[in-house]
């Protein structure tokens, strides 16, 4: 009995689908850059990408889904957790500084547009895709803090601390500095942010 070997590539995603999705996102990103969210329409994206409307809807159920996917391209990635050497303070300063560098390197106009578009937690104005992207981004950016706070030495200092709250306290000031046009967050800025965070946490009463 002869066994037919199925090529591994058969199980991979069709490269034509990858190319068409990439073309759609490239077109949507170009429209976002030149005209903002309202410029990203099905007609404009299919015209620029030369991808059929039916193909667009196979990749993205709605134009909001397409806009959300294109917006995500412009946001800085989450920073990686520093190695275990040093105190919790040292590693927090390094983590916040790494994220600050990524934020500072991101295109300001598009980052601002993305944060604004995903700032509605209920999806009343941005729709379910905007709310979904917002939750995705929160999970993505809090992951390094989850990893760091799960370590025994961090738990000994911080206790059972919510990483989303930490993200707001530690990265919020960095984002504000960037969006307000106040310059870039230096390592000294990150050091002050972390010290303020640790001081405030130490002053908080223990959870009952």
- How do the domains of the chain map onto residue ranges? 13-72, 88-203
- Quote the CA–CA distance of 189 and 100 in Å, as a whole number: 10
> Running DSSP on this structure, what letter comes out for residue 160?
S
Span of 9-18, 100-109, 163-172 with lowest mean pLDDT: 9-18
pLDDT, tens only, 110-125: 555 555 555 555 444 4
Q: What pTM, to 2 d.p., does this model score?
A: 0.65
> Which tops the pLDDT comparison, 188 or 65?
188
| Cα–Cα separations (whole angstroms), residue 95 to 5, 7, 159, 185 | 47, 43, 19, 13
pLDDT higher at 122 or 26: 26
CATH superfamily of 13-72: Homeodomain-like (1.10.10.60)
HSE toward the beta carbon, residue 152, CA cutoff 13 A: 0
Q: Does the structure show a pLDDT above 80 at 78?
A: no
């Amino acid at each position: 009995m002869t066994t037919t070997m199925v090529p591994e590539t058969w199980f991979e995603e069709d490269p034509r689908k990858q190319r068409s999705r990439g073309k759609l996102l490239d077109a949507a990103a170009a429209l976002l850059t030149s005209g903002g969210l309202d410029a990203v329409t099905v007609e404009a994206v299919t015209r620029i990408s030369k991808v059929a409307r039916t193909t667009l809807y196979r990749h993205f159920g709605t134009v909001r889904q397409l806009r959300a996917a294109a917006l995500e391209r412009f946001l800085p990635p989450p920073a990686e957790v520093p190695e275990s050497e040093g105190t919790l303070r040292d590693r927090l300063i390094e983590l916040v500084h790494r994220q600050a560098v990524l934020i500072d390197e991101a295109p300001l106009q598009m980052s601002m547009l993305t944060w604004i578009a995903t700032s509605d937690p209920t999806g009343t104005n941005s729709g379910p895709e905007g709310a979904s992207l917002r939750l995705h981004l929160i999970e993505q950016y809090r992951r390094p803090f989850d990893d760091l706070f799960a370590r025994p030495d961090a738990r000994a200092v911080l206790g059972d601390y919510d990483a989303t709250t930490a993200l707001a306290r530690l990265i919020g000031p960095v984002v504000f500095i960037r969006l307000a046009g106040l310059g870039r967050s230096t390592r000294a800025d990150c050091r002050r942010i972390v010290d303020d965070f640790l001081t405030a946490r130490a002053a908080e009463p223990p959870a009952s």
